[in-house]
């Protein structure tokens, strides 16, 4: 998900940023879903650093 794609869907970007190995986006989807949504894109090393369970699929 990108800020451009979110805007096309009518969702406001509440926060967008990055740290080494991770890009993240918080979207205000409260009008349609009732809450905010977080999107993260991370390198394999960053996922390991976050202790994401090895072998658990990550959707794109």
Segments making up each domain of the chain, as ranges? 3-49
31-44 pLDDT per residue, tens: 989 999 999 999 98
What is the predicted pLDDT for the residue at 57?
A: 74
Q: Is 13 exposed, middle or buried (0-12, 13-18, 19+ CB in 10 A)?
A: middle
Residue 24: which H helix or E strand, with range? strand 22-28
Torsion angle in degrees (nearest 10) through CA of 47, 27, 6, 9: 130
Q: What pLDDT does residue 59 have?
A: 65
The pTM for the full model equals 0.74
Listed residue (7, 10, 15) closest to 39, CA to CA:
15
Which residue, 37, 40, 36, is CA-closest to 58? 40
Is the predicted pLDDT of residue 60 greater than 70, yes or no? no
């Amino acid at each position: 998900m990108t800020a451009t794609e979110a805007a096309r869907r009518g969702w406001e970007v509440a926060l967008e940023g990055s740290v080494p190995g991770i890009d993240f986006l918080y979207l205000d989807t409260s009008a349609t879903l009732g809450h905010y949504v977080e999107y993260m894109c991370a390198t394999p090393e960053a996922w390991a650093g976050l202790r994401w369970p090895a072998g658990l699929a990550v959707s794109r």
